Structure 1
Amino acid sequence: MAYRNKTYVAFDGDNDIRYYYLMKAWRDRDNDSFNFHDAHDLNKSRDSSQEQSIKANLRTRFSNSKAFVLLVGESTRYLTKFVKWEIEQAIKLDLPIIVVNLNGKRSKDESRCPPAVKDALAIYVSFNQSIIRYALDNWPSSHKKHRDQQHSGPYYYKDNVYQELGL
């Protein structure tokens, strides 16, 4: 089994890639452990036109992941070819899911939430470096506790957590 030390990030590669690039800039600037795979860097598959080869490559990335971050923008809920599959894989592998609302909402956004993650055990946060890092540091252990108690559905951090982070 692979050593799981990465964070798998999924997003709408056509519309929301700038947010992913910003996350990479945060990581590079701070030189910290905010380490993740680019779910849309599909060029590693020899034939990127073949859905099967792309998914095989993504499965390898999942096998190295300790958490799944889903960046949710305006169109994410309509993506069924890869994003839906990535969500399903994260649920199947029981990865802690962190849903990041690109519109700043701090809880589940019913109008943008992809149906595949709608009822899954997940934490919902706004797009901000501090709260995303906080979720990456804290949600995996909370996820395990909630899962062990057979809880599911959406979770979110209360306002005092955001205030403590200066948000």
Structure 2
Amino acid sequence: MNIRALKNKTKTYLAGDWSGDKAAIDKLHEWNEGNRWSLHFIDVHNLTQSRDNSNNCNIKASLRMRMGISKTFVLIIGEHTKSLRSGACYLCKWYRENSCLLRHSVDNRSYVDYECDMAIKENAKIVILYNSIIVDRNKCPEMLRNKGIYKPMKKFNFNTWNVEWDYQTVKSAIND
């Protein structure tokens, strides 16, 4: 990792259900990478990656380091975001009887809950985007329900009677 990147809190941290809301995450990357769009951010996850076979503690340490260089935290809320459990210690192969065989402290927060807590601790700008046409704060993790900017990622086009991605709303939420 570049030492300059570590000193400057200029990056954007994307969080969400990477399986259930992948289309929304991919849409953000598409808007960010295309010359046609004026949404520009540096996704901190592109700087360094955790291996999928890492234990949950190592992945959370990597997430903490990435959050430390992030200015903006973007959480995409979908149908299952609030109920995600991936990252909880009790799901790790090293967890036994309320303890960690690697002698790490036990942390049963999901990766998403952990990321939300870190965003608050790091005083990041918090942007909560709903993979929907409506904002439903009941789907948001409780610790963020009254923090940040809430916007839908989609809109209903009455001319075509279709649901479409809403670039302008997302851009204004992230760039403001």
For normalisation by structure 1, the TM-score amounts to: 0.70
Matched, 1:136 2:165: no
Give SS of 2:43's match: strand
**Bigger radius of gyration:** 2
Once the two structures are superposed, residues 38-94 of structure 1 have per-residue CA deviations (whole angstroms, 9 ceiling, x without a partner) of 65x8x8335633011111111221122111110000000112410011001001111
Instruction: Give the gaps of 5 or more residues in structure 2.
Output: 1-5, 86-109, 154-165
Q: In the alignment, which of 68, 72, 91 is matched to residue 67 of structure 1?
A: 72
Q: In the alignment, which of 103, 106, 121 is matched to residue 92 of structure 1?
A: 121
Instruction: Give the gaps of 5 or more residues in structure 1.
Output: 139-167
Equivalent residues, number: 133
- Residues 7, 67 of structure 1: 8 Å contact kept: yes
Q: Look up the match of 1:125.
A: 151
Give SS of 1:19's match: helix
- Residues 44, 70 of structure 2: 8 Å contact kept: no
Give SS of 1:67's match: strand
Give SS of 2:138's match: coil
RMSD: 2.2
For normalisation by structure 2, the TM-score amounts to: 0.67
C-alpha distance in 1 between matches for 2:80 and 2:150:
17
Give SS of 1:9's match: strand
C-alpha distance in 1 between matches for 2:15 and 2:27:
14
Percent identity between matched residues is: 29
- Residues 31, 39 of structure 2: 8 Å contact kept: no
Higher helix proportion? 1
- Residues 37, 61 of structure 1: 8 Å contact kept: no
Q: In the alignment, which of 133, 158, 170 is matched to residue 104 of structure 1?
A: 133
